[in-house]
Amino acid sequence: MASTNQQQRIILITGANKGIGFEVVKKLIEKPSSNSKDIILLGSRDIKRGEDALKQLGSPPNVHLLQLDTSSKQSIATATNEIKQKYGSHLDVIINNAGIVPRDNTIQAARETQATNYYGVKMLNEHLIPLLREQGRVVNVASSIGPMALHCFSKDLQEKYTSETLTKEQLDLLVEEFLAAYESNNVEKIGYRPDLPYLAYGVSKVALIALTRIEARQYSGAQNIFIYSVCPGYCATDLNNKADGARPAALGADSILYVVDTPNHELGNGGFYLDVTTLSVGTTVAGQVDGTAGSTTDSLNTPRGLAVINNGTTLIVADAGNARVLSFNLLQKSTGSVIMTTSGEYPSYVMAYNNSIYVGNPAGSLVQILPSNATIPLSAPYLGSCSLQYFSTPMGIGVDSNGSIYVASQGCHWITRWTGPIPSSVAGISGSPGSTSQQLYFPAGISIDQQYGFLYVADSANHRIQRFDLDGSNIGITVAGGYGPGPAAYQLTNPLDVCVSQKNGAIYIADYGNNRVQRWDINATAGVTVAGDPAGSPGVTPAELNGPFAITLDPINEAFLYVSDFNNNRILQFPLT
């Protein structure tokens, strides 16, 4: 059969009589497909409300009301028969938008939430996916609450929900075990956090994202069906009583339609996409807005590493081209103060921890510590040595909760840990670049997940991000990229830094070669652009980047992302929603 992108599409949206679903229908009407208008099936549990929605839309001839209660097997079966009779047993897109939030903390509310948000989607897909034409797609509307909740589950539960061999039967069992523990007030015993807000809702969305991956594997073969999940963002709808500060539902619809309309080869089948249309405009907080390089303290020249300290009020920048480290007051636009000069040697990455600032000095093969002026190692008589006691081009720096210091020795292709004066290897093989799970190739920035004991490494020449356990097993797992260089959402090109969110476990990546910063959520198969051009083009406007070298998050509440815009000679601050 022909691709659905080349013909009139039949699109079903559940829960479409109001909120985000209604906005999706509205936008589809305003932007018909290139050849002819799509046929849109407006799914509504309540006929009267569905009819009212049609009237609000102006009763367009290509929008048809379909009574559909996704929590009812009988309703789904009736709707399936209607589609078969009226539309030739064909569908092209299924948007599973219907969902609920628990009205209280009772077991009944928890069961209703799973019935609609997880079991209802599973049941509807089982009925309707067989009607999808070739290259049809399913878009499951999830939530960022899912990854955030998953990050707070026990490691055992995380592994179960994200296993590549997880089956629907096993997933059903996980949900039923949760409900049984919820009813007996024993969720903590099996690995859930009882103090999590909206725990039942979070579990339903974790299960939905897991179902997306399972069904993507199931239907990606001969059927050539693509299945995605997407978070539309925190939108003002009836689910939150149109909360103050929530984004308009129309923006949530944009995120959904991005996944509906983007060519399948640009997305990762089974992937989870979050706020994909929300791109920020940055504010220059150090350097010149127009990207001009300079040597005065209000200018920068090819800045590299950066850190934010003093409760988010002070920015530290490795001003590499000027061989110095500067401090800027973020509370007001100011010139920088020189806190360190490196005598013609170019500082690389910086890291702040417990009132100390760590500065990588590649030319000197040292990590320098301020304000004590101590160094790691104590001296470097063998510049460029790949022995355990020395560095060759020290780059990314991290510090764990025990005070151990981690350094990416880029020239030696490994990461070493310094506990006091004692070094040990934690990732990579010294002097042996490669792409196996035990090797690295020019590692750059690193980041530590303090809660779960993970080390993330920007494995730049392998165009991927590797995750290692801090227990020293030295086996890396690719959590982003790894498909060669390129600008697709599932690719990276020469990533130079990575920063893990301590709130939800998402990782932010300075995708240097693609002139963008990508966010990869837990178990995502593709990234979301949060700064720069998603297509990878460089630029100097406040919304563009030209070679992002290093990144860091606001240490207080992660409200801001800071980007070292290397070739634009500036530091940009981006708000995170």
Name the residues annotated as catalytic.
201
- Bridge partners of residue 463, in order along the sequence: none
Dihedral of CA atoms 254, 260, 261, 266 in degrees, nearest 10, equals 110
Q: How far apart are CA 213 and CA 270, in angstroms?
A: 4
The answer to whether the beta carbons of residues 137 and 123 sit under 8 Å apart is: no
Task: Output the CA–CA distances (angstroms, integers) from residue 573 to 454, 534, 547, in the order listed.
Answer: 26, 18, 15
Pairing, β 63-67 against β 39-44? parallel
Q: Residue by residue, what is the 3-state secondary structure of 342-401?
A: CCCCCCCCEEEECCEEEEEECCCCEEEEECCCEEECCCCCCCCCCCCCCCCCEEEEEECC
Q: How far apart are CA 327 and CA 359, in angstroms?
A: 13
Encoded tokens for 397: 């720096």
What 3-state class would DSSP assign to 171?
helix
Measured at the alpha carbon of residue 521, what is the angle toward residues 515 and 523, in degrees to the nearest 5? Answer: 120
The answer to whether the beta carbons of residues 460 and 495 sit under 8 Å apart is: yes
Strands of the 477-481 sheet, one edge to the other? 443-449, 454-459, 464-469, 477-481
What 3-state class would DSSP assign to 207?
helix
DSSP 322: G
The answer to whether the beta carbons of residues 464 and 482 sit under 8 Å apart is: yes
End-to-end CA distance of the chain: 41
Task: Output the CA–CA distances (angstroms, integers) from residue 523 to 30, 224, 259, 268, 479, in the order listed.
Answer: 34, 22, 17, 12, 7
Give pairs for 340-345: CB < 8 Å, separation 24+. Answer: 340/368, 340/370
Q: How far apart are CA 258 and CA 256, in angstroms?
A: 5
